[in-house]
Amino acid sequence: MTDIKEILFSEEEIREKCIELGKKISSDYDGEIVVVGILKGAVPFMAELIKRIENPVVMDFMDVSSYAGSTTSGEVRILKDLEFRIEGRDVLIVEDIIDTGLTLSYLIEILKKRGAKSIEICTFLTKTARRRKNVDVKYVGYEVEDYFVVGYGMDYNEKYRNLPYIGILDESVYK
Protein backbone atom coordinates (compact mmCIF):
# COMPACT_ATOMS: atom_id res chain seq x y z
CA MET A 1 0.00 0.00 0.00
CA THR A 2 1.59 3.26 -1.11
CA ASP A 3 0.06 5.26 1.77
CA ILE A 4 2.22 3.31 4.23
CA LYS A 5 5.74 4.67 4.52
CA GLU A 6 7.10 1.82 6.67
CA ILE A 7 5.83 -1.26 8.49
CA LEU A 8 6.67 -0.98 12.19
CA PHE A 9 5.21 -4.27 13.47
CA SER A 10 4.35 -7.29 11.37
CA GLU A 11 1.45 -9.66 11.93
CA GLU A 12 3.83 -12.18 13.51
CA GLU A 13 5.37 -9.59 15.86
CA ILE A 14 1.89 -8.53 16.94
CA ARG A 15 0.83 -12.13 17.65
CA GLU A 16 4.00 -12.82 19.68
CA LYS A 17 3.52 -9.65 21.74
CA CYS A 18 -0.11 -10.63 22.48
CA ILE A 19 1.04 -14.05 23.70
CA GLU A 20 3.61 -12.38 25.98
CA LEU A 21 1.10 -9.87 27.37
CA GLY A 22 -1.56 -12.56 27.86
CA LYS A 23 0.86 -14.63 29.97
CA LYS A 24 1.72 -11.62 32.16
CA ILE A 25 -1.92 -10.71 32.67
CA SER A 26 -2.90 -14.33 33.44
CA SER A 27 -0.23 -14.59 36.12
CA ASP A 28 -1.22 -11.27 37.73
CA TYR A 29 -4.90 -12.10 38.31
CA ASP A 30 -6.51 -14.84 40.39
CA GLY A 31 -10.05 -14.78 39.05
CA GLU A 32 -12.37 -13.18 36.57
CA ILE A 33 -11.35 -10.01 34.73
CA VAL A 34 -13.69 -7.47 33.14
CA VAL A 35 -11.82 -6.57 29.96
CA VAL A 36 -12.98 -3.21 28.61
CA GLY A 37 -12.01 -2.49 25.02
CA ILE A 38 -11.94 1.12 23.92
CA LEU A 39 -13.71 1.36 20.57
CA LYS A 40 -12.94 1.22 17.77
CA GLY A 41 -9.19 0.93 17.68
CA ALA A 42 -8.68 -1.66 20.41
CA VAL A 43 -10.93 -4.33 18.85
CA PRO A 44 -8.27 -6.30 16.89
CA PHE A 45 -5.78 -6.12 19.78
CA MET A 46 -8.38 -7.10 22.36
CA ALA A 47 -9.59 -10.03 20.23
CA GLU A 48 -6.05 -11.39 19.97
CA LEU A 49 -5.17 -10.61 23.60
CA ILE A 50 -8.15 -12.30 25.29
CA LYS A 51 -7.35 -15.57 23.47
CA ARG A 52 -4.08 -15.52 25.42
CA ILE A 53 -5.57 -14.79 28.87
CA GLU A 54 -6.22 -17.94 30.90
CA ASN A 55 -8.56 -16.33 33.45
CA PRO A 56 -12.31 -16.09 32.95
CA VAL A 57 -13.01 -12.91 30.96
CA VAL A 58 -16.10 -10.73 30.73
CA MET A 59 -15.87 -8.48 27.68
CA ASP A 60 -17.34 -5.02 27.48
CA PHE A 61 -16.69 -1.91 25.43
CA MET A 62 -16.64 1.84 25.75
CA ASP A 63 -16.44 4.41 23.01
CA VAL A 64 -14.66 7.45 24.36
CA SER A 65 -13.48 10.19 22.04
CA SER A 66 -11.35 13.29 22.13
CA TYR A 67 -10.26 13.17 18.50
CA ALA A 68 -11.43 14.67 15.24
CA GLY A 69 -9.37 13.53 12.27
CA SER A 70 -5.72 13.56 13.30
CA THR A 71 -5.81 15.95 16.27
CA THR A 72 -7.13 15.81 19.81
CA SER A 73 -9.79 18.31 20.81
CA GLY A 74 -9.03 17.97 24.53
CA GLU A 75 -12.76 17.48 25.23
CA VAL A 76 -13.59 13.90 26.21
CA ARG A 77 -17.00 12.46 25.36
CA ILE A 78 -18.48 9.04 26.17
CA LEU A 79 -20.22 7.82 23.03
CA LYS A 80 -20.95 4.27 24.31
CA ASP A 81 -20.92 3.25 27.96
CA LEU A 82 -20.43 -0.11 29.69
CA GLU A 83 -23.25 -2.63 29.78
CA PHE A 84 -21.96 -4.45 32.90
CA ARG A 85 -21.55 -3.19 36.44
CA ILE A 86 -17.91 -3.07 37.54
CA GLU A 87 -18.41 -2.47 41.25
CA GLY A 88 -16.06 -4.75 43.21
CA ARG A 89 -14.56 -6.25 40.04
CA ASP A 90 -11.08 -6.30 38.50
CA VAL A 91 -11.09 -4.17 35.35
CA LEU A 92 -8.51 -4.26 32.56
CA ILE A 93 -8.80 -1.40 30.07
CA VAL A 94 -7.49 -2.36 26.64
CA GLU A 95 -6.29 0.42 24.33
CA ASP A 96 -4.70 0.34 20.90
CA ILE A 97 -2.47 3.36 21.57
CA ILE A 98 -1.96 5.91 24.33
CA ASP A 99 -1.04 9.32 23.03
CA THR A 100 -1.69 12.36 25.24
CA GLY A 101 -3.22 10.32 28.08
CA LEU A 102 -6.13 12.76 28.45
CA THR A 103 -8.89 10.37 27.38
CA LEU A 104 -7.56 7.51 29.49
CA SER A 105 -7.07 9.57 32.65
CA TYR A 106 -10.67 10.79 32.34
CA LEU A 107 -11.89 7.23 31.84
CA ILE A 108 -9.97 5.90 34.86
CA GLU A 109 -11.57 8.52 37.11
CA ILE A 110 -15.04 7.54 35.92
CA LEU A 111 -14.41 3.82 36.52
CA LYS A 112 -12.94 4.49 39.98
CA LYS A 113 -16.13 6.34 40.93
CA ARG A 114 -18.11 3.28 39.83
CA GLY A 115 -16.33 1.20 42.46
CA ALA A 116 -14.02 -1.08 40.50
CA LYS A 117 -11.91 -3.30 42.77
CA SER A 118 -8.87 -2.63 40.59
CA ILE A 119 -8.19 -0.86 37.29
CA GLU A 120 -5.19 -1.70 35.13
CA ILE A 121 -4.34 -0.67 31.60
CA CYS A 122 -3.03 -2.70 28.70
CA THR A 123 -2.04 -0.87 25.53
CA PHE A 124 -0.42 -2.17 22.39
CA LEU A 125 1.43 1.10 21.70
CA THR A 126 2.38 4.12 23.74
CA LYS A 127 3.79 7.48 22.64
CA THR A 128 5.35 8.94 25.77
CA ALA A 129 6.72 11.92 23.83
CA ARG A 130 3.17 13.25 23.38
CA ARG A 131 1.97 12.56 26.93
CA ARG A 132 0.15 15.49 28.55
CA LYS A 133 -1.40 13.54 31.44
CA ASN A 134 0.60 10.89 33.27
CA VAL A 135 -1.16 7.52 33.22
CA ASP A 136 0.08 4.39 35.01
CA VAL A 137 0.14 1.68 32.33
CA LYS A 138 0.90 -1.81 33.62
CA TYR A 139 1.00 -3.68 30.31
CA VAL A 140 2.65 -2.15 27.24
CA GLY A 141 3.31 -3.82 23.91
CA TYR A 142 5.71 -1.28 22.44
CA GLU A 143 6.77 2.32 22.92
CA VAL A 144 6.90 4.20 19.62
CA GLU A 145 8.26 7.52 18.44
CA ASP A 146 5.84 10.27 17.49
CA TYR A 147 4.81 8.70 14.19
CA PHE A 148 1.31 8.73 12.74
CA VAL A 149 0.60 4.99 12.93
CA VAL A 150 -2.26 3.07 11.36
CA GLY A 151 -3.34 -0.53 10.99
CA TYR A 152 -4.39 -3.27 13.41
CA GLY A 153 -7.36 -1.14 14.52
CA MET A 154 -5.71 2.26 14.32
CA ASP A 155 -7.01 4.66 11.71
CA TYR A 156 -6.84 7.93 9.94
CA ASN A 157 -10.38 9.19 9.23
CA GLU A 158 -11.71 5.62 9.67
CA LYS A 159 -9.35 4.15 7.05
CA TYR A 160 -6.56 1.57 7.45
CA ARG A 161 -8.03 -0.18 10.55
CA ASN A 162 -8.15 -3.48 8.68
CA LEU A 163 -4.42 -3.68 7.94
CA PRO A 164 -2.97 -6.80 9.63
CA TYR A 165 0.20 -4.89 10.59
CA ILE A 166 1.05 -1.50 12.09
CA GLY A 167 2.65 1.01 9.77
CA ILE A 168 3.66 4.64 9.57
CA LEU A 169 1.24 6.66 7.46
CA ASP A 170 2.89 8.74 4.75
CA GLU A 171 2.65 12.45 5.57
CA SER A 172 1.21 13.23 2.13
CA VAL A 173 -2.03 11.54 3.22
CA TYR A 174 -2.77 13.79 6.20
CA LYS A 175 -0.92 17.06 5.57
pTM beyond 0.85: the answer is yes
Q: What is the pLDDT of residue 70?
A: 52
Closest CA to 58 of 86, 39, 30, 22: 86
Is 99 marked active-site? Answer: yes
Q: Let me know: does 86 contact 110? Beta carbons within 8 Å.
A: no
> Position 41: which residue type?
G
51: left (phi over 0), alpha (psi -120 to 50) or beta: alpha
Per-residue b or e along 93-104, where b marks 16 or more CB atoms closer than 10 Å to that residue's CB = bbbbbbbbbbbb
Name the active-site residue from 96, 99, 146, 170.
99
- CATH pick for 4-174 out of 3.40.50.2020, 3.50.50.60, 3.40.50.300, 3.40.50.2300: 3.40.50.2020
For the chain, the domains span 4-174
Q: What is the mean pLDDT of each run of 10 residues along the chain (175 residues)?
A: 91 98 98 97 98 98 74 74 97 95 91 97 94 93 96 96 97 91
For the chain, percent helix, then strand, then coil, each to nearest 5?
A: 25, 40, 35
